Amino acid sequence: MSTELSKQELHYVAMNIVGKDLEKRGFEFIAIESKLGKQPQYVCIDKTNQRYFVIVKMIQLPNNPNNFDIIKMEAFKVHAHKHNAKILYAGVGLGNPDGEHLPIIKDQEYLLQYDGIQHIEMNLN
C-alpha cells in the first residue's frame, strides 16, 4: 500500500537537499531547526565566520519554489540584522511525476526543482 508523505516529511526531504548543498559549499552548521513553520531552518557560518540564516521552503510543483513571501521576508530581515546575519533562501519544488495534483508517495520517485540558494538583499524596504 502506498503512503502519502506528510507536510513535515516533505519538509525533511527539502531540508536534506539544501543541507547537502550547504555542506558542499563549505558552510558549518551552528543550529538546525527542522520543525515545519519555524525559521530559520539552518544557522551557518562560512569560512570568514559570517553568520547566515537559511530559510528552506518546500513548494508543491508546478508552483515556483523560487518565489517567497516578500512581506514575511522584510520582517525576517530585521531579525537577521539584529544578529549580524545574512539571509539565504532555498526553495525546493517537489511533485508527483504522474500528475501535479497527486500526492508524493513514500519510497517512490518524485519531481524535483531546486535551483540552488538565493542570497537575499539585506536592505530594508
CA dihedral 66→91→109→13, nearest 10 degrees, is: -170
Mean pLDDT of all residues in the chain?
A: 93
Q: What percent of the chain has pLDDT over 70?
A: 98
Q: Which three cell numbers mark 106?
A: 513514500
Q: What is the pTM of this model?
A: 0.91
Tens-place pLDDT, residues 77-121: 999 999 999 999 999 999 999 998 899 999 999 999 999 999 998
- pLDDT at 18 (0 to 100): 98
- pLDDT at 36 (0 to 100): 86
- pLDDT at 124 (0 to 100): 64
Adjacent-strand bridge partners of 50: none
pLDDT bin (cut points 50, 70, 90) of residue 2 is confident
- pLDDT at 125 (0 to 100): 55
Q: Which domains does the chain have, with CATH numbers?
A: 7-120 (3.40.1350.10)
Tens-place pLDDT, residues 46-82: 999 999 999 999 999 999 999 998 888 998 999 999 9
